[in-house]
């Protein structure tokens, strides 16, 4: 019966026998090296090596120390202190240590879910919503805000200024929500002209100016802006195409290039010319009722 030989074992024996004799004049003692990222202390034990079991150095057998230089990093000491706190059962995040951005305030008793967004974002999302798809409208609003954030700073026309107290144009892209709110409120009309049918006599309507609330003013401005956007020609396909057109129109409103300013001026002129109709006998009779 042929003997079974292990070729790997034979090669191993040949390699061991062919090694040169170790130098006995020098002993190399491996000292444990600290782990990177945890601490700069080189006294950390590893692989069960005990410092007391290492023989003292002599002239015939000097000790060759293996050292590794670590950069000064204060995060190592902080990480060790956090580990010690966790081992002691303490809270890692409390008021003494502090937070980077602070803890969010809990909702109040009378707070509603829709109040988590600004009023303008909530209103424009409902106006853009079609067929009850609110998530699609919110995605469009997010793309519009991203467009306002990434575009260069607008150049405001002094003939069509923004609301008084607005920040400089260079700071508007830093806050896209303020950018959107300022564009809508600046072009929103203050009044509307109401047509009172048959009150002027002879079946003619009587034009009467009527002030608008803040929500009504913003709704009118948003509808005017969307009307201009829908009349523009499509320049391609994709989900971002509509949002980019709305964003460009908002920038045009801030810069005074949009035709929405003309609509606002027409409404204000018409309401100014029809102020005398507030003292019309038909209006006075209606007030007495």
Q: Specify the pTM.
A: 0.61
Does 181 have pLDDT greater than 70?
A: yes
Alpha helices in the chain (DSSP H): 7-17, 74-88, 119-128, 134-150, 176-187, 214-231, 240-255, 260-273, 281-288
DSSP one-letter string for 132-162: T-HHHHHHHHHHHHHHHHHSPPP---TTS--
Q: What is the pLDDT of residue 75?
A: 56
Q: Is 195 in contact with 205 (CB distance < 8 Å)?
A: yes
The upper half-sphere exposure of residue 193, i.e. CA atoms within 13 Å in the direction of its Cβ, equals 19
Q: What is the pLDDT of residue 261?
A: 96
Range 24-46 average pLDDT: 45
Q: What is the pLDDT of residue 195?
A: 86
Domain spans, the chain: 119-192+213-258
Give residue-wise pLDDT tens across range 4-15.
555 555 445 444
- Predicted local confidence at residue 38, as pLDDT: 44
Distance (Å, whole) CA 148 – CA 222: 16
Q: Is 114 exposed, middle or buried (0-12, 13-18, 19+ CB in 10 A)?
A: exposed
Range of weakest confidence among 88-97, 142-151, 178-187, 220-229: 88-97
Evaluate whether 129 touches 227 at the Cβ level (below 8 Å). Answer: no
Out of 21-25, 81-85, 164-168, 224-228, which region has the weakest mean confidence (pLDDT)? Answer: 21-25
Query: What pLDDT sits at residue 146?
Result: 95
Q: How confident is the model at residue 253 (pLDDT cuts 50, 70, 90)?
A: very high
The token duo for 223 is 């509808």
Q: What angle do CA 270, 227, 187 make, to 5 degrees?
A: 50
Our CA angle for 234, 235, 238, nearest 5°, is 90
Q: How confident is the model at residue 31 (pLDDT cuts 50, 70, 90)?
A: very low
Query: Of all residues in the chain, what percent carry a pLDDT higher than 70?
Result: 69
Express each pLDDT in 60-96 by its tens digit: 555 555 544 444 555 567 777 777 877 887 766 655 5
Examine the pLDDT at 273 and tell me if it is beyond 80. yes
Q: Given this model, what pLDDT does residue 85 score?
A: 78
Cα–Cα nearest to 225, from 117, 128, 157 = 128
Write down the architecture of domain 119-192+213-258 according to CATH: Orthogonal Bundle (1.10)
Q: What is the average pLDDT across 215-243?
A: 89
Tokens of 222: 């948003």
Banded pLDDT at 22 (limits 50, 70, 90): very low
Of 268 and 89, the one with more pLDDT = 268
Confidence category of residue 21, pLDDT binned at 50, 70, 90: very low
**DSSP notation for 39-86:** -S-TT---TT--GGGSPPP-SSS-B----------HHHHHHHHHHHHH
- For range 23-46, the mean pLDDT: 45
pLDDT at residue number 281: 79
pLDDT exceeds 80 at position 19: no
- On the question of pLDDT at 171 being above 60, the answer is yes
Mean pLDDT across 128-152? 94
Mean pLDDT of the chain: 77
pLDDT at 18: 45
- pLDDT at position 207 is 87
- Asked which of 20-34, 50-64, 145-159, 273-287 is least confident by mean pLDDT, the reply is 20-34
Among residues 180, 209, 207, which one has the least CA distance to residue 196? 207
């Amino acid at each position: 019966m042929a003997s079974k030989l292990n070729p790997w074992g034979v090669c191993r024996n040949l390699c061991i026998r062919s090694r040169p004799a170790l130098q006995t004049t020098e002993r190399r003692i491996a000292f444990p090296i600290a782990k990177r990222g945890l601490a700069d202390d080189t006294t950390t034990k590893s692989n069960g090596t005990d410092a007391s079991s290492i023989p003292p150095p002599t002239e015939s057998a000097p000790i060759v120390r293996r050292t590794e230089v670590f950069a000064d990093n204060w995060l190592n000491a902080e990480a060790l202190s956090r580990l010690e706190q966790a081992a002691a059962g303490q809270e890692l995040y409390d008021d003494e240590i502090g937070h980077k951005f602070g803890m969010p305030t809990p909702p109040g008793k009378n707070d509603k879910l829709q109040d988590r967004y600004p009023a303008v974002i909530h209103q424009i999302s409902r106006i853009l919503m079609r067929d009850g798809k609110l998530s699609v409208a919110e995605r469009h609003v997010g793309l519009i805000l991203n467009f306002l954030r990434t575009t260069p700073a607008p150049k405001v026309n002094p003939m069509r200024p923004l609301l008084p107290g607005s920040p400089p144009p260079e700071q508007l892209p830093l806050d896209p929500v303020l950018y959107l709110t300022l564009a809508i409120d600046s072009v929103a009309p203050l009044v509307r002209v109401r047509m009172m049918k048959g009150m002027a006599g002879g079946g003619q309507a009587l034009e009467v100016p009527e002030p608008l609330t803040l929500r009504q003013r913003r709704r009118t401005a948003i509808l005017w802006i969307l009307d201009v956007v829908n009349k523009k020609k499509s320049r391609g396909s994709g989900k971002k195409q509509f949002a980019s057109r709305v964003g460009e129109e908002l920038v045009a409103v801030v810069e005074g290039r949009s035709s929405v300013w003309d609509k606002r001026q027409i409404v204000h002129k018409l309401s100014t010319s029809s102020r005398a109709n507030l003292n019309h006998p038909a209006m006075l009779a209606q007030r007495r009722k």
